[in-house]
Structure 1
Amino acid sequence: MGWNTLDDIALAGKVVLCRVDVNVPMDGDTVTDTTRIDKIVPTVSDILTKGGKPVLLAHFDRPKGKVVPEMSLKRILPALEAALGRKVVFGADCVGEAAAAAIAAAGPGEVVLLENTRFHPGEEKNDPALAAEIAKLGDVYVNDAFSAAHRAHASTEGVARLLPKAAGRLMEAELRALDAALGSPKRPVMAVVGGAKVSTKLELLSNLVAKVDNLVIGGGMANTFLVAQGIEVGKSLAERDMAGTAAEILEKAKAVGCRILLPVDVVVAREFKAGAASEIVVASACPADAMILDAGPETVARIRAVMGQCATLIWNGPLGAFEIPPFDQATNLAAEEAARLTRAGQLISVAGGGDTVAALNQAGAADSFTFISTAGGAFLEWMEGKDLPGVAALMA
């Protein structure tokens, strides 16, 4: 695919600068979700097995180019050592004497974690001087942070242009999964796109209609598309000023042969709360005093039927207000079918985005998907068809 993996580059005796994403949620000094830390373990382990010394580069929070003690990566050291099962030497800076001393102090089988790259204003500016200072510390560069690949920063893009480079195991898996979903997918391809607003996913929708065979639009976005077709949606969330844009997307899809699936029936309620009284009506019959909060059973049946005819699925966003039952049914039922088809070997399923991961976990379907991306912005920008600087630098 145009980039090296850890299998393509010599690491024995080399200092390997490895960009990772360990920007984890914390409560005080306790990491509350170690997912991102756990996901870098295969790359770090492989570097060690191949005789390299892993030196981790990462950001934490948004210090905006200043040293902010509560945003120090030193806080995650215990969780990192627990996940890796080995000692991690901490460097009090990501450049200069402090970084070099930490690297020198690390013995065989030990890992180095350097301080928050964003403590330097040159990081987010992709300052060539900072990139050169970082590059001085190592022999090889490995990027294992797809979730930061949409940022052209010194540690994600600049350093990659100065050293022999490769994708880490997590980055490799992500890129292979994304290529299988949109780059060179098995057809037919279905995309499920949900969410509140059309305005936040315009580029995404415009790109997808040209690349997929079937596009399911759900959530609040679907209401805007219904409005574009002259359908009244009562008190539902809808961007009425975007109706013209939605109509243009419908026309574009028609021109390129992409079938768009919008709700044909909906679940409506007068209150937005758990257990609220609800009813199912055809999509064109939403009462004036009600809100559309989920797709109806006939819509779900159509989605599942088309899904069964497809070879590839890419999913971003829920079909309804999945956080509040009973308005999680459409998302749950569609996700369960995607999971079943994937387990049966009939479907390659790739999903990503914060709400998406939460919705698929809630449906009990996430573990059965072919690949779940934990990247937020990078996953969306890839779906929009944009070049990701951190990925492009690995191919340069």
Structure 2
Amino acid sequence: MAFLSLDDLDLTGKTVLVRVDINVPMENGKVTDMSRIERIVPTVRDIVAKGGKPVLMAHFGRPKGKEVPEMSLRHLVPALQAALDLPVAFAEDCIGGPAKRAVADQAAGTVVLLENTRFHAGEESNDPMFAAALAALGDIYVNDAFSAAHRAHASTEGIARLLPSAVGRLMAEELKALDLALGAPQRPVAAIVGGAKVSTKLDLLGNLVRKVESLVIGGGMANTFLAAQGIDVGKSLCEHDMAETAREILKKADEAGCTVILPSDVVVAREFAAGAATETLAAEACPADAMILDAGPETVARINATLEQTRTLIWNGPLGAFEIPPFDAATLAVAARVAELTEAGTLVSVAGGGDTVAALHAAGVADKLSYISTAGGAFLEWMEGKTLPGVAALETRQD
């Protein structure tokens, strides 16, 4: 993949429209997690340093084409100013008069934040006229929102075809990390895929068994695979109607030479509650009145032994019901080993997805992996082997 970067364009005196993802959690009018805002700082500050004037475009929530006051980006101005250490002016709309005036009045060394792009229905429908109205505000387009790149929206795909376009620092970092993980990885490659349901990750599993040497399946998904092999999983979360599909995935893995690792021992309980009484049993010994809520220590040892022979790891989803101790034990133990191997330089580790990131933070190792993607759906679709419209539009600009 080849993309223009900020270093390939002359930004002097240019208005640079920057698509960012600052869709952050808020409580009582305050941002409770600054991660996404902090990650756009290098791009914005570099544009300023190169003589450009950054104008930020973003969505916030799901207003569905209508103005929803509580979803206004105005609320984020204080947090942006604090993170960027630059003055941030707010435009009451992302197109039309308010946006044009804010851009016309923008001084060097300042930032303009446009109102929520999703206040207009043309954003999500990728309406050409809406994309053109956005493009009319600037000279150059920079996409720094990989997490929104799987959406063919006006501010992620349509506008990229109307202006000279480049990737921002965060987007470039993300694409480089993902290419290292699946594009041109060091082998052997392993993937850890967890989560509640097989049905939500069919495309992902189907793609991975052809691209990795080892596939670890955890969480509620693992129960479905165990049941598909005739193992009684008691009252565990399980999609029994997906049994045939699970068997097909295992067959494809076998044909592709991919080793699938399922729990050989499990932690069970009669209730899903903190401090619940637990037992660690062989996977095929789950009592009829119990639930499998985590992988056991034998399984963890098998996973870690595989990782020691692995050079690249992609991780999406926890191994158990990590939200409630003690059902986080397997996820935390594997996370610790991944961090150790990464720090030792023997493993390239790329992780993504909300639950995965939360689990890695809980394990205290989020800063020790090679790369953690803040993207949710985009990271998943990339793992599924799908073309991301917002990325493809930037590649097209190289012609």
The letter for the 1-side match of 2:59 is H
Could you tell me whether the CA contact under 8 Å between 2:123 and 2:153 is conserved in 1? yes
In the other structure, the counterpart of 2:240 is 240
Q: Show the 5 A alignment for 1:83-122.
A: 83-122=83-122
Aligned to 2:341: 341
CA–CA separation in structure 1 for the residues paired with 2:67 and 2:289: 52
**Alpha-carbon RMSD:** 0.8
Letter matched to residue 373 of structure 1: S
| 1:69 positional shift | 1.8
> Equivalent residue of 1:186, what SS?
coil
Show CA shifts across 1:83-118 (max 9, x none): 111111111111122111101211110011111111
- Confirm whether residue 196 of structure 1 aligns to residue 199 of structure 2: no
Q: Distance in 2 between matches of 1:258 and 1:86?
A: 50
Return the offset for 1:315: 0.3
Provide the C-alpha distance between the structure 2 equivalents of 1:350 and 1:388, rounded to a whole number of angstroms.
18
Shift of 1:27: 1.5
2:268 alignment counterpart: 268
Matched-pair contact (CA < 8 Å) for 1:18–1:54: yes
CA contact (8 A) 1:335 1:365 kept: yes
8 A contact 1:16–1:53 mirrored in 2: yes
Identity among equivalent positions (%) equals 70
Distance in 2 (CA, whole Å) between partners of 1:124 and 1:219 is 33
> Shift of the alpha carbon at 1:389?
0.5
Q: Which residue of 1 aligns with 2:63?
A: 63
Mapping of residues 1-396 of structure 1, within 5 Å? 1-396=1-396
1:217-266 CA deviation, whole Å, 9 max, x = no partner?
A: 00110010001111111111110000110000000000010000001111
Deviation of 1:9 after TM superposition, in Å, equals 1.4
**2:265–2:280 CA contact under 8 A, matched in 1:** yes
Q: Which runs of 4+ in 1 moved over 6 A?
A: none
- Give the 3-state SS of the residue equivalent to 2:200 in structure 1: coil
Structure 2 gaps of 5+ residues are none
Q: Is the contact between residue 88 and residue 110 of structure 2 (CA under 8 Å) also seen in structure 1? A: yes
Separation (CA, whole Å) in 2 of partners of 1:296 and 1:30: 40
Return the alpha-carbon distance in structure 2 between the equivalents of residues 217 and 182 of structure 1: 18
Cα drift, residue 323 of structure 1:
1.1
Give the whole-Å Cα distance in 1 for the aligned partners of 2:181 and 2:187.
10
For the residues of structure 2 that align with 1:27 and 1:363, how far apart are their CA atoms?
A: 25
Instruction: Please say if residues 52 and 108 of structure 2, whose CA atoms lie closer than 8 Å, have aligned partners that are also in contact.
Output: no
Deviations 1:160-202 (A, max 9, x none): 0011110001100110001111111110000000011101111
CA distance in 2, matches of 1:237, 1:249: 19
The residue type paired with residue 46 of structure 2 is D
1:28, distance to aligned residue in structure 2 (A): 2.8
Q: How far apart, CA to CA, are the structure 1 residues paired with 2:326 and 2:300?
A: 14
Letter of the structure 1 residue corresponding to residue 64 of structure 2: K
Q: Deviation per CA, 1:127-146, whole angstroms, max 9, x where unpaired? A: 00111111111110000001
Question: Take 2:356 and 2:172, find their aligned partners in 1: how far apart are those partners?
Answer: 22
1:5 is matched by which residue type in structure 2? Answer: S
Q: How far, CA to CA, are the matches of 2:294 and 2:25 in structure 1?
A: 30
Task: Give the Cα–Cα distance (whole angstroms) in 1 for the partners of residues 280 and 65 of structure 2.
Answer: 52
Structure-2-length-normalised TM-score: 0.98
Q: How many residues align?
A: 396
Q: Distance in 2 between matches of 1:194 and 1:48?
A: 41
Deviation at 1:38, TM superposition (A): 0.8
SS, match of residue 40 in structure 1:
helix
Q: Secondary structure at the match of 1:215?
A: strand
2:143 touches 2:168 (CA, 8 Å); kept in 1?
yes
Alpha-carbon contact 1:89-1:105 (below 8 Å) kept: no
Q: Distance in 1 between matches of 2:135 and 2:62?
A: 23
- Between stretches 309-318 and 286-295, larger displacement belongs to 286-295
Give the Cα–Cα distance (whole angstroms) in 2 for the partners of residues 215 and 293 of structure 1: 20
- Normalising by structure 1, we get a TM-score of 0.99
Quick check: 2:12–2:50 contact (8 Å CA) kept in 1?
Answer: yes
Q: Distance in 2 between matches of 1:329 and 1:185?
A: 29
Unaligned stretches of 5+ in structure 1?
Answer: none
8 Å CA contact 1:218–1:319 kept in 2: the answer is: yes
1:208 is displaced (CA, Å) by 0.5
What's the offset of the Cα at 1:26? Answer: 1.2
Distance across 2 between alignment mates of 1:313 and 1:107? 45
Give distance in 1, aligned partners of 2:291 and 2:122: 48
**Secondary structure at the counterpart of residue 83 of structure 2:** helix
